[in-house]
Structure 1
Amino acid sequence: MNARTPLHTLRIVFALACLCTLHGAQAGQAMLLPDGAVTLIRATTVFIIDAPIALEPGDLLATDARASAQIEDADGTIIALGGDTRIAIDAGPRGDALALLSGWIKIARAHANAVAHLSIDTPTLDLDLRDGAAVLHVSRDTTAFFIETGSVTLALPEHADAHRQLDGEHYGERETGKPLDLRARPAASFIAAMPLPFRDPLVSVATPAKTKPAALTQGRPATYADLAGWLAAPLPIRRTFVARFRPLAQGEPFRSQVRQNLRELPEWRRVLCPPPAMPRRRALSPVQPQSTEVES
């Protein structure tokens, strides 16, 4: 028997395992299925998306007034985005996470497939959805939600350790600095403003033809106008932005625009005005012992 055969076989097995792992990682990625043009900010680059793409943690998405989109994951989670919606794909400690800056989303999760939690951060309220369906709306200073089915855990950002469990149909809203207001039925204004497709159960729109990921076309560098709302957002994901967007602050006009808004962006002060470097301490020469010998 050739002595190289076992080693050759091992290499083939290892290569196949790597391919399977890569395929599994791709299959588990969330897919964005746009209906109209969607703006994507990935790293520090802006892309206009009009075809399915695989999403990555840190992606910032924005729909315009006449666009919508659906995000679908391998575990059966469906997230519908209404018009004028800004949302970030994040990673939470117990599973996937979203940060909803503004606009409308509807989420549906099947109980049998909901292995991990899905957390949704908003400026005034944090939600943790294990299974079921829920609709959320975030405006400038208010978060409103309606739980259609399933179980949701609520927490206030300033009291993250105080949780409240809600099951079944519940409606709630909270303005900045005010207590959480819970009711049995949605407010009339909430129903009137909700996107019409959100009144029906969400269904998957993914098909082999639609879900083949498209390659990102050439984008452009993000500007301060693209990021202003996110940079000042009272959301946990904001803590990642200084490191992520620091390269943009090396040039103009981004640097000047950040400087003009330092009151709202105090964490950027060390980027624009770094503390002076500490002077190097001079090495001290060793002290020579004094001679005690008396000259004769």
Structure 2
Amino acid sequence: MLAPWCAWSADLSGTITILESDAFIYRGASRLHAQEGVRLESGDIVETAASGFMQLELADLSVVQFGPATRAMINASTGRQKPERWLFVMNGWCKVTGSKGSAADGAGLELRTRLFTMRPNTGVVVFSETPTDTTLFVERGEAKLTEDQASGVPLKSGDYYRRKAGARGVVNAGSNEAFVAAMPRVFRDSLPLRLDQYRNQVVQPKSAPDFTYADVEPWLKAEPWLRRPLVQRWRVKARNPAFRAALVAGLSSHPEWDPILFPEKYQKKPPVSAARPPWVPSTSGPLPAPVRAAREAASSPSAQ
């Protein structure tokens, strides 16, 4: 009974159907080589090479394309509460074609970045993400973005949305020539869907060299809700001297690692026994009655 559930869970996170150049998958504390046919698992981080491209297809027929030098994490929840799927793009280029499936195919894909969140929809959007700004173009359909706790920003086909860190987003302001010129050319093509080709195949990714602190530094220093679950996933890396030293040096950016690096600080200390100190005669003040009586008896004439 376990295998069908695992396959369904993996389908929630998508299958790599087209891959150009190298790409990595960070799964648990391991780094793997991506390849066509590999099913991603919830929590996987993908990273494309500087000249890479990856197409990811989900069971609900939504499609995600990653351009060069792009980092993203995909997550799928299958608990008792309402299922959800989200894709967090750390940096790079991404094109998302919304779900065309039915409710039976699972929850739609929510898009998240540092600067906006986009609820599941059936539109097509292309965007670029950097640590300081984001630019998004609605190629087809409609979309609605939310910024932090602010009200939604409705977008329609042909709209450009731009936002810089620390500011509100703007729509259709300024020239879009730089965005179009920098956009990966493959995003302009209509690529075939190949999910059916791999639906009944099990393709296992091959091991890649271990990752260093520098390889995952953006994730370790990401927003708290995103980075905190990585502590348990990567805690074994703290045994590596170089990785540990880098964690200690950057501890102010990820303080949740402090209990892993310095567990002795968080161990409960044994209670101190409250033993009564011995009585010491005072050099001033009245003597206790028993002592005073003994002294008087010793000094009386009958005692001599």
Same fold (TM over 0.5): yes
Partner-residue secondary structure (3-state), 2:206: coil
Task: Give TM-score, length-normalised by structure 2.
Answer: 0.77
CA distance in 2, matches of 1:268, 1:101: 21
What are the within-5 Å matches in structure 2 for residues 12-161 of structure 1? 24-25=8-9, 30-33=14-17, 34-91=19-76, 95-113=84-102, 116-157=107-148, 159=149
Distance 1:67 1:23, change over 3 A: closer
Displacement after TM superposition at 1:207 (Å): 4.9
Per-residue CA deviation, residues 196-255 of structure 1 (Å, 9 max, x unaligned), is: 121244541345269833212234433212211211123742221122211211331111
> How many residues matched?
267
Deviation, structure 1 residue 138:
0.5
The one-letter code matched in structure 2 to 1:258 is L
- Name the residue aligned to 1:178: 167
Q: CA shift at 1:73, angstroms? A: 0.9
Structure 2 gaps of 5+ residues are 276-304
Note closer, same or farther for the CA distance 1:184–1:118 as it changes in structure 2 (3 Å cut).
Answer: farther
How many angstroms apart in 1 are the aligned matches of 2:111 and 2:84? 11
Q: Comparing both structures, which one devotes a greater share of its residues to strand?
A: 1
Over the aligned positions, Cα root-mean-square deviation in angstroms equals: 2.8
Inter-partner Cα distance in structure 2 for 1:248 and 1:47: 16
User: Displacement, 1:279?
Assistant: 2.2
Mapped to 2, the partners of 1:23 and 1:52 lie a distance apart of 13
Contact (CA 8 Å) 1:123, 1:235: kept in 2 or not? no
SS at match of 2:252: coil
Is this contact kept in 1: 2:62–2:100, CA < 8 A?
no
Shift of the alpha carbon at 1:29? Answer: 5.1
* CA positional deviation for 1:126: 1.8
SS of the residue aligned with 1:58?
coil
Residues 235 and 279 of structure 1, relative CA distance in 2, 3 Å threshold: closer
Q: What's the CA shift for 1:21? A: 5.1
Q: Confirm or deny that 1:237 pairs with 2:222.
A: no
Could you say which structure has the higher helix fraction? 2
Secondary structure at the aligned position of 2:215 is classed as helix
